[in-house]
Structure 1
């Protein structure tokens, strides 16, 4: 086979190969940051792009979980899927925006160690609405994500809580790279200064790379969307917040792909 033909064949294989699965965990280091609002809006924005999105809900059955945002009730949990008690497509609930939602359920250490993203096909983007424990640590599932996005508000208490949380995550899990997303921003230049200062501090004192995932402007229509049990991306697509969420969802496709940090011995297929 000539070099030209071989190069063409290799290019065709890459073109037809399935896109790698991207797993992103999203969390707030304190209550009130709006992490669940962010993750549901990003899921809606990605689904509007035609992406196959699965949101893993670690807060269910809490009153402020992603399942409650959309008023959906999945038939099973991720724990059921990993234990082979149910298939993923039988367990998820599909929100009106097109994104699928699956509660994590009671995920023991043994089941977490058996997690294999291939069980969640055909999803290509998995978002984890991550819940922290009382010590501010991530679940075993969220630790496997290729990306971790921390949501914070642009106020002193939120900044302090987030920086303290970053130190905890760094020492507990060895995180060297995180992304920051500012939520409820009234002053965009001020928000940019906040993220620059945090990135400089994290790099200088912790050796952690803090990259900016984006910012979402404060928008009164956010509360109106919650009243309708929808995201602002769905309910008010022309709003400034919806535009910000769509822009971040679009930018996510340009992030360098980082594989999930999987356990060494997932259950066989």
Structure 2
């Protein structure tokens, strides 16, 4: 039997509040429901919230792995549909920027994970050294942007820094919280226009997720919107992104 290829993708953003963690959680559920063995790494190490998205309370977290001598399999939680979740810490400021030794411990532990098809890395927002390191190790980088002008500006800044620090040239853009795809393509065009002028990168439009009241309802209930609102417009939009990802 042919061994399936591991694929590491990072989901990042220039600013907080763009729905990145919500997209990661629901995308992972969709992948798992398609029999894709999926891990989520909550890489917002100091202010993690992936466990909250699933309504789960971790027994151990990243601090126990890096400073407490726990093995990675001891801190992994199993979520719905077989998703495996590697929880971060919350309110541990020293984890906002890991030392080189701490990064080595974490990255070596990730190498020891059991077989998977997708490892989705949910980074913190911005351009910290952690964000740069996690994006450098991934196969594909996804940048989440919204219609907020500051989100567009900060997304460009993230792409600029990642190109400079990691040498990466290819970036996938997901536009969230839009009225429709026409608005999403307008936002993507703005990013393209400025990046073509000042950067040597290639931006790929990967899809959009429309504004949907069901998303906020699900988040407040600590539920996944793709599971509880399967017919909503946001779920159908994310399904298209998911299908493109596995094709």
TM-score, normalized by the shorter chain, greater than 0.5: yes
- Give the TM-score normalised by structure 2: 0.85
Q: Report the alpha carbon displacement of residue 207 of structure 1 after superposing the two structures with TM.
A: 0.8
Corresponding position of 1:93: 77
Q: Deviations over 1:112-131 (max 9, x none)?
A: 23524441112220001102
Whole-angstrom CA distance in 2 between matches of 1:136 and 1:161: 16
Computing the radius of gyration over CA atoms, which structure comes out larger, 1 or 2?
1
Q: Report the alpha carbon displacement of residue 87 of structure 1 after superposing the two structures with TM.
A: 4.1
Corresponding position of 2:100: 109
Corresponding position of 2:242: 249
Whole-angstrom CA distance in 2 between matches of 1:83 and 1:226: 31
Pick the aligned partner of 1:238 from 231, 235, 240: 231
Corresponding position of 2:173: 180
Q: Note closer, same or farther for the CA distance 1:30–1:250 as it changes in structure 2 (3 Å cut).
A: same
Corresponding position of 2:92: none
The answer as to whether partners of 1:27 and 1:149 remain within 8 angstroms in 2 is yes
Pick the aligned partner of 1:56 from 24, 41, 46: 41
Q: Whose helix fraction is larger, Structure 1's or Structure 2's?
A: 2
The answer as to whether partners of 2:126 and 2:158 remain within 8 angstroms in 1 is no
Whole-angstrom CA distance in 2 between matches of 1:110 and 1:17: 35
Instruction: Provide the aligned length of Structure 1 versus Structure 2.
Output: 238
Q: Report the alpha carbon displacement of residue 232 of structure 1 after superposing the two structures with TM.
A: 0.8
Q: Report the alpha carbon displacement of residue 34 of structure 1 after superposing the two structures with TM.
A: 1.1
Superposition map of 1:1-269 within 5 A = 16-59=1-44, 62=47, 65-77=49-61, 85-104=69-88, 106=95, 108-113=99-104, 115-116=107-108, 117-132=110-125, 138-254=131-247
**Which is further off, 75-84 or 173-182?**
75-84
Whole-angstrom CA distance in 2 between matches of 1:97 and 1:110: 34
Give me the CA root mean square deviation: 2.5
Whole-angstrom CA distance in 2 between matches of 1:84 and 1:180: 37
Specify every segment of 5 or more residues in structure 2 that has no aligned partner in the other structure, as ranges: 90-94
Q: Report the alpha carbon displacement of residue 20 of structure 1 after superposing the two structures with TM.
A: 1.2
Could you say what secondary structure the match of 1:23 adopts?
strand
Whole-angstrom CA distance in 2 between matches of 1:61 and 1:201: 32
